[in-house]
A and B are shown apart, each in its own frame.
Chain A
Amino acid sequence: MLKDINLGRYHPGTSFLHRLDPRTKLVFLPVYIVCIFLARTVLTGIAGFLVLLALIALSAVPLRFMLRGLRTPLVVLLIADVLNIILLDDGLRISVWLTLRICEVVLASNLLTLTTRPGEIAAGLEKGLSFLKVFRVPVHDLATMVAVAFRFIPILTQEARDLMDAQTMRGADFRHGSLVRRAKALGPLSVTVFASAFRRADEMALAMDSRLYGFSDAPGNLHPLRYGREDAAAYICILCFLAVMVLMRTGGL
C-alpha cells in the first residue's frame, strides 16, 4: 500500500502542466477544491470531474499511475462510507459525494506535486506569499519547511517499505492475520520510521547550517520565476471555471 502514495512524488516531464509557473498551479489547487465543494448537482459534479480529466491529460502523467494513488485514501473512505450509510438517513448520497470529492482533491493535489519539483513549490510559495514579509512572517522559512516536507514523503515511504522488508525477513507478518495482529507487527516499524525521520531531519539541518542557511535575509534564487503566456491562458481558464461553478451554484444547477 505504501508504494501507492503519490503525494510528494515528482514525475519528470515537459507537459503543459510541467511548464506552468508553480504559482499558477498553487493558485489553481485551492480554487479547484472550492469549486468541487460548490458542486451540488450531478451536472456540476461531472463538470469538476471533466476538468480534472483534462488536467491529467495535460500533465502527460499516465492515468494508471494517477489512479494507483487513490488506493490508500479509498480504503479510509470506504470505512467512512460504511459508517455514513449505517448511521445517516441520507447516507448513500452523502457517501457518493464525499468519495468523489475527496478523490478529486487527492488527484488534484497529486497533480501539483507530480508536475512540480519541491524546490519550485517552495519558490512559488515564497514569491506568492512575499507580501506577508511586511508583517514579519518568515515566508522563506515556511516555504522551505513545505518543500522539505514534500521531499520527505517519498523518502520516508520508501524507507518504511525497506523497513517492512527487513522485518519480514525476521518473521514479521504485515499481510496476514487479524487486524490486531497486523497492528502489533507495525509497532516495531513505527519506532524505526520515527527514529529514521528524526535522524534524517537532524542530518539535513546540520547540512543546511554548514551551507549557511539563514545567513542572508534575501538569499538568491537558482531558478527565478517568470510568468509566461501559458500561465496567462491558465489563469483565464481558472477564472472561467470558478465563474461557471459559482453561476451554476447560484442558479441552482
Chain B
Amino acid sequence: MVRVEHLCFGFDDNIILRDITFEVKDGGLFAITGRSGTGKTTLARLLCGLLEPVSGTVEVSVQPRMVFQFPERQLFARTVLEDVMYGPLNMGMDEGKAREAALTTMRKLGLGEDLQNRSPFSLSGGEKRLAAIAGILAMDPQILVLDEPTAGLDAFGCDALVRILRALHDEGRTVIVITHDGQIMKELIPDGHLEL
C-alpha cells in the first residue's frame, strides 16, 4: 500500500508539488501522468524515500523500488548477469541464490542467455531498459515504481514492456508507472490515475 496525504515539495521559493493526495492499494496498477516539468520524477523519488517532503506524509507498507528513466544510470557491472545480481547480493543472498534470482528474472523479461556475459554498455536501448528493470525485479520488490519506462523504446519494445508490466501486476505486485506516453496509458488500463 502507498498512501500520500497533502504532500508538498519544493526548493526554497520554487514549489514543485502542492497538496498531493492519493492512495494505491496492495496489488494496484497506478499511473501518474503529466507534462514535462510537473514534478513526476520528484514525486517518484518522494515515494521511494529518496527525497524528504516539505510537508505532508508518504506512507508505504514496504520499501518501493524504483526503475529510473535512464537505464545507463543504473548499469555498471562487467556483465549483464553481474549487474542483475548486484541487488540480490546487497540484500544478503549468497552468490548461488543471487545468480538463480538474476537468471530467473532475466528469463522472465526475455533477456536471452546470449546477453548474460555481455557488457551492459554494449546493449541496445531496449535491452538496457530491460536489464535495468531486471536489476530491480531480481530483488523481488512488492512495490515497483517505473519512471518513464517507455522512453526511447520503439513500438515493439513498448508492447513488450506493457505485457511485462501487466504480468507483474497479475503476480500481485503494486506497480506505479510514471509516464507522459498516452499510448501506454491506453494499453495498461490502470486501476487509478493521478494527473499532475
**Contacting chain A: which of B14-22, B85-93, B155-163?**
B85-93
**Contacting chain A: which of B1-9, B27-35, B72-80?**
B72-80
B151 nearest CB across to chain A (Å): 15
Contact B136 A170 (CB under 8 A): yes
Contact A163 B73 (CB under 8 A): yes
Check A230 for interface membership: any CB of B closer than 8 A. no
Contacts of A199 in B (CB 8 A): 72
Contacts of A189 in B (CB 8 A): 76
Check B135 for interface membership: any CB of A closer than 8 A. yes
Interface residues in B, total, Cβ within 8 A: 22
Check A134 for interface membership: any CB of B closer than 8 A. no
Contact A169 B66 (CB under 8 A): yes
Contact B77 A188 (CB under 8 A): yes
Contact A171 B66 (CB under 8 A): no
Contact B72 A169 (CB under 8 A): no
Contacts of B50 in A (CB 8 A): 165, 168-169
Chain B residue with the shortest CB-CB distance to A172 = B90
B20 nearest CB across to chain A (Å): 20
Instruction: Give the interface of B toward A (CB within 8 A).
Output: 45, 48, 50, 65-68, 70, 72-77, 86-87, 90-91, 121, 135-136, 139
Given contact pairs A166-B74, A169-B68, a sample of 19 additional A-B residue pairs in the complex whose CB atoms are under 8 Å apart: A162-B73, A163-B73, A163-B74, A165-B45, A165-B66, A166-B68, A169-B66, A169-B67, A169-B136, A170-B65, A170-B87, A171-B87, A171-B91, A171-B139, A172-B86, A191-B76, A192-B73, A195-B72, A199-B72
